[in-house]
Amino acid sequence: MICLRRPPPADIAVFHEFAPPPTGGGHQFMRALCQEFERRGLRLACNELPKGTSVCLCNSYNFNLRKLERALKKHPATRCVHRIDGPLQTYRGFDDGTDALISDFNRKHAAATIAQSRFSLEAHQSLGLSARDPRIIPNTPDPEIFHPRGRSSPGPTDKLRVISASWSDNPNKGLDLYQWLDTHLDHTRIDYTFVGRIQTTLKNIRHIPPQDSPALADLLRQHHVYLTASRNDPCSNSVLEALACGLPVLYLNSGGHPELVQNAGLPFDTPEQIPALLEHLAQNLPAVQANIRVPTLTETADQYLQILMA
């Protein structure tokens, strides 16, 4: 009979089912955050709660809820910090009960909640969804991948190069607006690229399939302006990645976009506003780029640790 030694306590137990790249923004952020924790010498346990571990960080519903509930029942002294997204129904456009499941877990087990934007927190509160002792910490990209070094700048006769990206093909990511842009933009003056999944065939916009983070970052740096048309997006990782690569953002005035972009871009409410706004950004690119502010991974990890280790 072989007796397996019990795993030693971890500094932080992380409950998140990581998907291999290319994948959505939540996986990318959680991977970057965990790598930063490990760079600091912290011992992490992934989807396990070893005896003696004092705190766990769980992400939305992207983990085995029942497994963690059983582990917390067995180790009731473990502090549980719950990172929430959405609410999912606000940007999916339908309610399949997942938000209620997340809220129920939060109410029963969370000692503290991390929301990714004020929009997200207030949307949870307006729907009566639980967010125990909430704090707001936006995501941030991995600075080893998303950075402005080598960024392209337009010459006086160059086309303005515009890029959009989306891992999800949910129509609320901006399907109708991208279709409008494909038809109505002056493509003799604008070179437009869409990276990711979309439920349409684009005729004038170049469509590139989903890319892993290094390839996407290279594409971002080859362009001048990032455009997003997603609705009710709580904290768009693609917006943060574009900003980190030095691109001003033209964004649909919805969700958490205004909080992330601030003075480093311009909002729009209708597609008809976009051509003039792109022209304005083209004429004022260096000045708008100077307003880009993205939280560093170090700052974000510090904020997480203040809550985890409270």
pLDDT score recorded for residue 290:
97
Give per-residue pLDDT as tens, 260-288. 999 999 999 999 999 999 999 999 999 99
Least confident window among 40-49, 110-119, 155-164, 299-308:
155-164
**Does residue 204 sit in the same domain as residue 285?**
yes
In the structure, what pLDDT confidence band is assigned to residue 86 with cuts at 50, 70 and 90? confident
* HEC sequence for the chain: CCCCCCCCCCCEEEECCCCCCCCCHHHHHHHHHHHHHHHCCCCEEECCCCCCCCEEEEECCCCCHHHHHHHHHHCCCCEEEEECCCCHHHHHCCCCCHHHHHHHHHHHHCCEEEECCHHHHHHHHHCCCCCCCEEECCCCCCCCCCCCCCCCCCCCCCCEEEEEEECCCCHHHCHHHHHHHHHHCCCCCEEEEEEECCCCCCCCCEEECCCCHHHHHHHHHCCCEEEECCCCCCCCHHHHHHHHCCCCEEEECCCCHHHHHCCCEEEECCHHHHHHHHHHHHHCHHHHHCCCCCCCHHHHHHHHHHHHCC
**Does residue 134 sit in the same domain as residue 229?**
no
pLDDT score recorded for residue 4:
44
Is the model's pLDDT at 207 over the cut of 60?
yes
* Residue 35 within any structural domain of the chain: yes
pLDDT score recorded for residue 23:
67
**Does residue 279 sit in the same domain as residue 205?**
yes
* Residue 285 within any structural domain of the chain: yes
* Residue 155 within any structural domain of the chain: no
CB 29 within 8 A of CB 139: yes
* Residue 192 within any structural domain of the chain: yes
Residue type, 189: R
Q: Taking phi first (over 0 means left), then psi (-120 to 50 degrees means alpha), and beta for anything else, what does residue 268 get? A: beta
pLDDT score recorded for residue 22:
65
* Residue 115 within any structural domain of the chain: yes
* Residue 262 within any structural domain of the chain: yes
Domain encompassing residue 257: 160-289
Give per-residue pLDDT as tens, 158-188. 899 999 999 888 888 899 999 999 999 999 9
**Does residue 218 sit in the same domain as residue 133?**
no
Q: Which residue has the tokens 């456009």?
A: 93
**Does residue 136 sit in the same domain as residue 191?**
no
**Does residue 193 sit in the same domain as residue 280?**
yes
